[in-house]
Amino acid sequence: MILGYIDPGSGITFLSLGAGMIAFFAGGLAIFLLFIKKFSRFFKKNRRIILITIAVILFVFVVTIVIMNNNKSTFNKKVIIIGFDGLSPEMLEPMMQEGQLPNFARLKQQGSYRRLSTTNPPQSPVAWAGFATGKKPGKTGIFDFIIRDPKIYAIRLSLSNIQQGGPKPVIRERRFWHYTSDKKIPTTIIGCPLTFPPEKIYGKMLSGMGVTDILGTEGTFTFYTTQELAKDKDIGGKVFHVDKSSVMNLNLIGPRVSVPGGETKNLNVPFRVILQPKNNHITIEYQGIKFDLSVGEWSDWKEVTFKLGFFRKSKGIFKFYLIEINPGFKLYVSPINFDPRDPFFDISYPSSYSRELAENIGLYYTRGMPMDTWALNEERISEEVFLEQVNDVLRQKTAMLNFELNRFKKGVLFCYFESVDIIQHMFWRYTDSEHPLYDQNTAGDYAKIIRQWYKKMDNVLGIIMQRLNDEDTLIVLSDHGFGTFRRSAHVNKWLRDNGYLKLRNPDASFGAELLNDIDWSKTYAYAMGFGAIYINQKGRELDGIVMPGADTEFLKNEIIEKLKKWQDDKYNKFVISNVYKAEDIFSGPYMENAPDLYIGFNLGYRASWQTVLGGVPAKPLEDNLKKWSGSHLFDPQLIPGVLFLNKKEIKQNPSIYDITPTVLKAVGYSQEEIKELNMDGAILY
């Protein structure tokens, strides 16, 4: 998992309702009252006919319910699928041999274990889309964290699709829960990525990665500090300078609303901070809520209501963390999550399911990427504070799993755990002595933190294994492996240095993000996302100059040949393992959205954050000095995931595309039926 830092752009803008809307409702009420009056007269004249009609409708309804009950599935076994994002065989295998992961080792002994081929590219949205559909990116339409629009050279995130103020599905292909629903097999999906908005299934679904915060972003924190602010833009949050005083009036930043004149603005809820330096705490007051918060303490969940307009509200939940009040003042406010008891948009199916979970396990993070990695990256919170947050997320997810296991009698249950992925992203620097941020003097216990979290996942697995019978099916997988991220590769700078990309100002040392400074009349290729290169093709891109066909193919071959020779002089290593043409790794109805080339980086090298957003930095390579120090965005052949199955005989060289066909077999689909679904995977056993 990745990208807690990228705002999808427009986010969500709500319409404000003013006097015109009030008049509209008043007119509608008058029409409704007139309708009631006329219907009353009609009913008095035709009472007998109406009553007979109602009786017939009720009879048909009862018969339908009986038929539906008779059509319920006779499937009475359990299929449990657990997704541990980012578990690496390079970590897991030696730990099993050392006896540190007894439940994984026991499952391997009783069933089977294999390294699992991941998707190309090995990105979380691509991989989890392939997992749930059994199909490659050309059939799901998910090629990257980033989606680009060639007509205007714009980008947005692939995790969510906010249009006209509301979420739309990001994947239109059927997934395994649709097929289980067809057979009336009870199905529960907890937190699977790319499930926002939630889908109607024969069971329950809580949406996962892709659920935004209340602003419509992937997670925007707020930070108040008395320190002078740097000129550099903070990423992933809104940081405000405050003058320290005994009473400070601050704001909770809410969703945007439209205002007269076509402008938009963020709603704010004021809150007051009263310093209590003698007791080393503060008092916070807002919307009738008052509580104390000590230095070094998280608040419990706090509620906030933003009034969007006439009869419309957006309710959120969030947490405060007080970092210091002496000598300066620092206060962190987490991204504001949708309140699961009353979310503005449905985050579950049925809509009441998110509330049911809250009533049984307490309030929980609803944001699809709950850990605030960018607050740690920007050094607004410390490692210890971040770990407290990650532990809180794991506690909540485990509580959800236990709640469902306690009432799980038959059917299919999937639960997704993102913790190890995030821990590896943020703490790999403590395990790699060659990483630019490695410091032997400060590594300390953090050098063991990744292994500790593998043990936590082993404990989760133990909970599940206790609930299974011999005839049940257990599938445990990770979507990819992991490795170190030491050097940032600025792909657009490489393209510029090799004559494929030009800036409008040829003397400029760099070009801004979002491709803003590029001279399209002289640019042949450009990069966006985590390894994607697009040819500036005539007739496809807004200002394309490369003719499709032979000219495009010649250019692609030339770029591939040169990219494979890209060498890092600092370490005397090749940056790239392989470069893939779209037609060699993708096929399907969404090929028009595929990148023309995709880079498979060598371990240690990754597309830079600037490349992701279409920037053109001054250097082609530089040290990665972000705390985000582990990655999986390498050549997929270098970072396989893991697969455990409680069946002895499974195929060699399995891929993540094999999971859905295997689930369908486990619930009763025949090989012929599965074959007709045109999947890219095969049954594992």
| pLDDT tens per residue, range 348-379 | 999 999 999 999 999 999 999 999 999 999 99
| 586: in domain | yes
> How confident is the model at residue 259, as a pLDDT?
82
pLDDT of residue 588: 96
Please enumerate in sequence order all residues whose Cβ is within 8 A of that of 387, keeping only pairs 6 or more positions apart, or say none: 449
Q: Write down the pLDDT at residue 7.
A: 43
Range scoring the smallest mean pLDDT among 159-168, 286-295, 347-356:
159-168
Q: Report the pLDDT averaged over residues 424-429.
A: 98
At 70 the pLDDT is 54
Q: Is 126 domain-assigned?
A: no
pLDDT the model gives residue 19: 43
Element housing 598 (H / E) = strand 597-601
For 304, the token pair is: 């906030």
Phi/psi-derived region of residue 681, left when phi > 0, alpha when psi is between -120 and 50, beta in every other case? beta
Measured CA to CA in angstroms, residue 142 lies from 156, 173, 306, 319, 594 at distances of 12, 11, 34, 33, 9
SS (H, E, C) 325-389: CCCCCEEEECCCEECCCCCCCCCEECCCHHHHHHHHHCCCCCCCCCCCHHHHHCCCCCHHHHHHH
Let me know if residue 98 belongs to a domain: no
Residue among 411, 463, 515 at smallest CA distance from 186: 411
Phi/psi class of residue 682: alpha, beta or left (left: φ > 0; alpha: ψ in -120 to 50)? beta
Q: Is the pLDDT of residue 572 over 80?
A: yes
Q: Is residue 508 part of a domain?
A: yes
Average pLDDT over residues 547-558: 98
pLDDT at 24 over 60: no
Dump pLDDT digits (tens) for 255-267: 999 888 878 899 9
Residue where a domain terminates, one of 627, 650, 667: 627
Is residue 662 in a domain? no
Contact 509, 521 (CB under 8 A): no
Domain assignment present for residue 21? The answer is yes
Q: Hey, which of 5-19, 224-238, 380-394 has the most confident mean pLDDT?
A: 380-394
pLDDT over 70, % of the chain: 92
Rounded Cα–Cα distance for residues 494 and 479 (Å): 30
Span 491-544, pLDDT tens digits: 999 999 999 999 999 999 999 999 999 999 999 999 999 999 999 999 999 999
- Whether the per-residue pLDDT at 553 is higher than 60: the answer is yes
Range in 18-32, 410-424, 549-563 with the lowest mean pLDDT: 18-32
Average pLDDT value for the chain: 92
Say how far apart CA 445 and CA 396 lie, in whole Å: 25
Residue 249, classed as helix, strand or coil, is strand
Listed residues 301, 327, 344: the one ending a domain: 344
More confident residue, 244 or 26: 244
Mean per-residue pLDDT, 460-476: 96
**Tokens found for residue 24:** 């509209």
Kindly give the interhelix angle for 124-133 and 659-666, rounded to the nearest 10 degrees: 30
Q: How many domains does the chain have?
A: 2
Q: Give the span between the Cα atoms of 626 and 274, in whole angstroms.
A: 34
pLDDT reported for residue 558: 98
102-150: pLDDT as tens digits: 999 999 999 999 999 999 999 999 999 999 999 999 999 999 999 999 9
Q: For 612-643, what is each residue's pLDDT tens digit? A: 999 999 999 999 999 999 999 999 999 999 99
The boundaries of the domain holding residue 307 are 1-71+217-344
State how beta strands 221-225 and 237-241 pair.
Answer: parallel
More confident position, 36 or 670: 670
- Please check whether residue 521 lies inside any domain of the structure: yes
In a domain, residue 237? The reply is yes
CA contacts within 13 A on the Cβ side of 683: 17
Write the pLDDT tens digit of every residue in 305-326. Answer: 999 988 899 999 999 999 999 9
Short-list 484, 515, 411, CA closest to 79: 411
**Which residues have CB under 8 Å from 8's CB, separation 6+?**
156, 157, 159, 160, 162, 212, 216, 217, 218
The last residue of a domain, from among 280, 309, 344:
344
pLDDT band at 10 (very low <50, low <70, confident <90, very high): very low
